[in-house]
Amino acid sequence: MSQYRRAKVMGFLQSAGSVAITLFLLVTLTFFLGQVMPVDVVSKLVGPDADFQTYEAVRQRLGLDEPLYVQFGLYVGRILTGDFGTALLTGHRVIDDILRVFPATIELGTLALLIGAGIGIPLGVLAAVRRDRMSDHIIRIVTLLGHSVPIFWLGMMGLLVFYSQLGLVGGSGRVAVFYEGLVPTVTGMLLIDSLLAGDMEVFGSAIRHIILPASVLGYASMASLCRLTRSFMIDQLGQEYVISARVKGLSTWQVVWGHAFPNIRVQLLTVVALTYGSMLEGALLIETIFAWPGFGQYLTNNLLLGDMNAIMVCVLLVGVVFITLNLIADFLYTIFDPRTSR
């Protein structure tokens, strides 16, 4: 085996080992999180009127009478076999509930990221090019508001103005009530499913309902992406190769997009990946405000109920999403910057 191949294999094994260790630590964290939470799972299952014998029988069936290390082993074993327990709220397997609600959050988060990155990155470049000019100051004020204004306040004000007063967008939910269930579920993402079904009325209603929550969620990510893009670009615009390009007679935007911007793409990949993962955090509030039946609302409802099965799976899923996004970002590094694959 050549030295290059040996290095590639070792790199892959190290990455796989890091992922395995991270997942194990994440599983351990979720288990002990469930132990310290002041929630009696057995009482939730049997109800407040159950007798002592029933309570003990269920407790033994769940293995909660075993020592802590035995419970942890049973917990890991169930996860490895794909058994994540049953949700108290729905009576279904937690994994089935997650598969049902998560596509709605992916749809919302993806559109929000497209809005945030599609506006934030060009604005960040513009602010860097127009540094300390009026346009730069205006952009910085807009991004400052995005960092400072609470997302739940923006959501409520958006509903008040654009839905209640102007009627430009849809209200709560993913689609108008009389359109619910009209298109078959293929991906779980209503915009895609309605297009696959060729139902433009449902698609139009879905657009009207998603545009406001996605814009509010995207505004927060736009502020962060704009600020970081501006910082990265200012650093690049001060480099010698930029000065040389300008001396050769290239226009400002040829220098910016043809020379400076390609050198910050790798940095932006990490930021965009982490921003996409943080959409799950922002979705908790947005989905509650807009009654969006996604992962965030599912987690919120189970937190209020104290369902540790569902809560721990949700925590585990968030960790897996962040790990996956980082792996994707690492893979994209080799595409945008081939030097990282050497």
200 and 74 assigned to the same domain: no
26 and 106 assigned to the same domain: no
16 and 113 assigned to the same domain: no
Indicate if the pLDDT at residue 285 is higher than 90.
Answer: no
Angle of the 134-148 helix axis to the 94-129 helix axis, nearest 10: 160
Comparison of pLDDT for 330 and 109, the residue scoring more: 109
Res. 337 pLDDT band, cuts 50 70 90: low
Residue 184 lies in a domain: yes
pLDDT tens figures, 122-131 = 999 999 998 8
149 and 52 assigned to the same domain: no
pLDDT tens figures, 89-115 = 777 888 889 988 899 999 999 999 999
Give me the pLDDT at residue 192, please.
92
- How far out from the chain centre does Cα 112 lie? 10
State which of 80, 102, 125 marks the end of a domain. 80
Give me the pLDDT at residue 9, please.
61
10 and 141 assigned to the same domain: no
Domain count, the chain: 2
The two structure tokens encoding residue 164:
């209640």
Angle of the 200-237 helix axis to the 151-158 helix axis, nearest 10: 140
Indicate if the pLDDT at residue 222 is higher than 80.
Answer: yes
Question: Is residue 23 within 8 Å of 323, Cβ to Cβ?
Answer: yes
Q: What is the mean pLDDT of residues 238-257?
A: 82
Indicate if the pLDDT at residue 1 is higher than 70.
Answer: no
The two structure tokens encoding residue 21:
């260790």
pLDDT tens figures, 173-215 = 888 888 888 888 888 899 999 999 888 999 999 999 999 999 9
Q: Looking at residue 166, what DSSP letter applies? A: S
Comparison of pLDDT for 130 and 9, the residue scoring more: 130
Angle of the 265-289 helix axis to the 200-237 helix axis, nearest 10: 140
Comparison of pLDDT for 139 and 74, the residue scoring more: 139
The two structure tokens encoding residue 51:
């007798």
SS3 assignment, position 239: coil
Residue 87 lies in a domain: no
Q: In Å, what is the CA distance from 12 to each residue of 3, 5, 9, 15, 267?
A: 14, 10, 5, 5, 22
Least confident of 31-35, 112-116, 210-214, 224-228: 31-35
Q: What is the mean pLDDT of residues 39-68?
A: 75
Question: Is residue 252 within 8 Å of 125, Cβ to Cβ?
Answer: no
76 and 120 assigned to the same domain: no
* Residue 86, beta-bridge partner list: 93
Res. 340 pLDDT band, cuts 50 70 90: low
- Residue 99: which CATH number? 1.10.3720.10
Q: What is the mean pLDDT of residues 257-263?
A: 85
> What residues make up the domain containing 42?
3-80
Indicate if the pLDDT at residue 308 is higher than 80.
Answer: no
Gap between the Cα atoms of 63 and 70, Å rounded = 8
Gap between the Cα atoms of 275 and 326, Å rounded = 11
Percent of the chain topping pLDDT 90: 17
